[in-house]
């Protein structure tokens, strides 16, 4: 009898987390766009005008994660004047980045569906909601970009002596 192979995404040492897959973000965004289109076409007359607070929140998160990406990369590379980074903090940043990229993709899909429907509707109320929806789409895409950048910044750089060893890491 052959030994059972470990489940996909895990190794003999235990489960492993790999980089965020663009396909995952795309599917989440497309599903959110479809839900947004259905909701807005069914209930647009019953909802108030679009708020700006989600857009501001998404933009603030994008700026924060962009800052973390720059700071973390410099600390991992041990640039002069930077303290070494705590490994647990980097692990938390990776989790934050993965969650933010997925949330940003869902918001981007939702806002994209909303913007598409609003451009087709062309009523006064729809025209008034287009700036908030477009800004939400831009902020969501900025969050996805910043989160992916943060995730990439948390990777440990290869050392020169690692060239002789096979690469077993997924990130």
Residue 167 located in a structural domain? no
**According to the model, what pLDDT value does residue 126 have?**
85
Residue 3 located in a structural domain? no
Q: How far apart are CA 98 and CA 32, in angstroms?
A: 18
**According to the model, what pLDDT value does residue 164 have?**
57
**According to the model, what pLDDT value does residue 81 have?**
80
**According to the model, what pLDDT value does residue 34 have?**
96
Q: How far apart are CA 160 and CA 167, in angstroms?
A: 13
> What is the number of domains present in the chain?
1
**According to the model, what pLDDT value does residue 166 have?**
56
Q: How far apart are CA 5 and CA 50, in angstroms?
A: 51
| pLDDT < 50 stretches in the chain | 171
Residue 98 located in a structural domain? yes
**According to the model, what pLDDT value does residue 168 have?**
53
Quickly list H helices, 13-123: 22-43, 53-76, 87-121
Residue 163 located in a structural domain? no
Residue 138 located in a structural domain? yes
Segments forming the whole domain that contains residue 104:
22-156
Which tokens is 22 given? 């663009």
Which tokens is 52 given? 């700006």
**According to the model, what pLDDT value does residue 167 have?**
53
């Amino acid at each position: 009898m052959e030994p059972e192979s470990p489940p996909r995404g895990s190794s003999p040492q235990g489960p492993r987390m790999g980089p965020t897959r663009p396909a995952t973000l795309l599917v989440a965004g497309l599903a959110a766009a479809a839900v947004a289109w259905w909701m807005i076409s069914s209930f647009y007359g019953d909802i108030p005008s679009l708020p700006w607070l989600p857009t501001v929140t998404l933009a603030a998160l994008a700026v924060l994660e962009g800052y973390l990406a720059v700071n973390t990369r410099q600390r991992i590379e041990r640039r002069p004047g930077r303290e070494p980074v705590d490994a647990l903090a980097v692990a938390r940043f990776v989790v934050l980045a993965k969650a933010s990229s997925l949330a940003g993709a869902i918001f981007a899909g939702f806002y994209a569906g909303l913007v598409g429907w609003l451009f087709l509707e062309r009523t006064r109320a729809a025209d008034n909601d287009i700036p908030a929806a477009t800004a939400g789409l831009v902020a969501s895409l900025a969050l996805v970009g910043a989160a992916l950048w943060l995730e990439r910044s948390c990777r440990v750089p290869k050392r020169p002596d690692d060239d002789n060893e096979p690469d077993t890491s997924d990130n």
